[in-house]
Amino acid sequence: MRGIDVHYVDRGVGYPLLFVHGHPFDHTLWEPQVRALAGRGFRVVVPDLRGYGRTTVVPGVTTMDVFARDLAALLEHVGLDSVGVVGLSMGGQIALELCRLFPDRVDSLTLAATNPYAETEQGRASRRAVAARLRAEGMVGYTDEMLVGMMTEANVRALPAVADHVRAMMYAAPAEGAAAALLGRAERTDHLPLLRRISAPTLLVAGQEDGFTPPEFTEAMHVRIPDSVVEIIEGAGHLPNLERPERFNEVLRRFLERSRTRLSRTGI
């Protein structure tokens, strides 16, 4: 679709969910959530984004709206009109683009570890420098430097299997695809004006120890999104769904049950 081959998982029946991974990961970022939800009243659709995992790598620059249009095409392909969208980090920014471009497709919204602000001048320069580095050197050195940050240092030590999974995803990410996404994120716009127009029920999640998207970013979204709730997960960094999956799943399931119940009452 849209000139690329998209790899995705589609499991279960029930209230439909679209999970959107962050950089530089793939669909397996969501394994704990797929296990918890698929076939238990939920249908989960979990793609590898353009340039990541087993989906086609397109050189150049991949902006957030391109990712969002890819996801809208995927929903058409699998026969879904509207879904609960769950995005983490870059995936949350892409979810916000879905809200901007295709608001009728977003029945509920979950944003985890998401930065809603436009990129700063310093941030743009940094992302461009990292993109050039990935193209020149590949993913290994970058991964080794960034693992602590994606997870807290304590969790890297205490959760070796999780750390190995995160490291493996980052090592395996195609450098050209990751670089294209970084260049696209460098050009992202400010989503703050959009937030007040979001009508979908929204869950905002942050790790208490997230150094990339601290909880105050989540609070800034909460005061703007009309129907929103916040959950700050203790003992988690930038990947609360992997660092504290039981708590994340509990919060997510409780939120999604509201949407599932609402749809069943309306007969949709």
Query: Would you place residue 263 in the very low, low, confident or very high pLDDT band (cuts 50, 70, 90)?
Result: low
Tokens of 221: 């979204």
258 band by pLDDT with thresholds 50, 70 and 90: confident
Looking up residue 176, the CATH number of its domain turns out to be: 3.40.50.1820
pLDDT, residue 260, reads 75
Q: Is residue 2 part of a domain?
A: no
Answer whether residue 261 is part of any domain.
yes
**Terminus-to-terminus CA distance in the chain, angstroms?**
27
pLDDT at 233 over 70: yes
CA-to-CA distance for 155 and 167, rounded, in angstroms?
A: 13
pLDDT at 144 over 60: yes
Question: Can you give the pLDDT at residue 199?
Answer: 95
- The answer, yes or no, to whether residue 197 has pLDDT greater than 70, is yes
- Would you say residue 57 lies in a domain? yes
Handedness of CA 251, 165, 149, 120 (dihedral sign): negative
pLDDT value for 23: 98
The predicted pLDDT at position 265 comes to: 59
Q: Which of 127, 87, 58 is nearest to 240 (CA)?
A: 87
Mean pLDDT of the chain: 96
Is 233 within 8 Å of 240 (Cβ atoms)?
yes
CA distance 59 to 129: 16
Is residue 1 in a domain? no
Instruction: Examine residue 3 and state whether it is found in any structural domain, yes or no.
Output: no
Would the pLDDT of 267 be above 80? Answer: no
Domain assignment present for 159:
yes
pLDDT band at 266 (very low <50, low <70, confident <90, very high): low
Residue 96: pLDDT band (50, 70, 90) is very high
What is this structure's pTM? 0.96
Q: How many domains does the chain have?
A: 1
Q: Which domain holds residue 82?
A: 8-266
Q: Is the pLDDT confidence value at 262 over 90?
A: no
Report residue 179: phi and psi, to 5°.
-65, -40
- Is residue 221 domain-resident? yes
